[in-house]
A = this chain, B = another copy of it.
């Protein structure tokens, strides 16, 4: 898959990730992707057939990779609350490696999956499935209060995605100096989300505070 023989497809995917994240599917320009990947545009069509094909390939990869890591947490043996901590930390780490992920995620939600085929949509569905499964484990073991898994999924990951995707606009807003938007560290925010999620899922009084 990452054979040294065919670097073009991988370089194209990397360039596409940046372009799609920055501009969205409609705003992305095939010429720009080709230029960023330092390949000829015809090469891009040779490998991926169309802008749509490239987009879907990229997203399928991305979703599959992320879902795999989440599923690994689900399958591991650990206290339920720790698994939730790991879900949040893992998503943050994933974004750290793939900075384009959150923006693409936001756009895809807003688009209602308009450009996704059945296969890519299935790959995306594996994300809430994995996280929902972890929550369900905890609820069944009576470690968590009874919570719809999808509610927990949204309340723990939406802020992470939103916050990480919003780095640029926060900087713009901070620049206006009309709000106190001083950038605190991403790590602090992740810890905040872990604590908030623990407290939200805890049955009686919340877990340790730090």
Q: How far is the CA of A23 from the CA of B24 in the complex (A)?
A: 10
Judge whether A193 is part of the interface by a CB distance below 8 angstroms. yes
Judge whether A57 is part of the interface by a CB distance below 8 angstroms. no
Q: How far is the CA of A116 from the CA of B184 in the complex (A)?
A: 24
Number of copies of chain A assembled together: 2
Judge whether A192 is part of the interface by a CB distance below 8 angstroms. yes
Which B residues are in CB contact (< 8 Å) with A108? 169
Judge whether A53 is part of the interface by a CB distance below 8 angstroms. no
A102-118 CB contacts (< 8 Å) to partner B: 102-104, 106-113, 116, 118
* Structural contact, A125 and B173, CB atoms closer than 8 A: yes
Interface centre among A112, A148, A161, by most chain B C-beta atoms within 10 angstroms, is A112
Which B residues are in CB contact (< 8 Å) with A125? 173, 176, 178-179, 181
Count how many chain A residues have C-beta atoms less than 8 Å from C-beta atoms of the other chain: 63
Q: Which of B126, B154, B196 contacts A162 (CB 8 A)?
A: B154
User: Can you offer 12 A-B residue contacts whose CB atoms are under 8 A?
Assistant: A24-B27, A26-B26, A26-B27, A104-B110, A109-B162, A116-B172, A125-B179, A126-B178, A132-B180, A151-B192, A155-B159, A199-B202
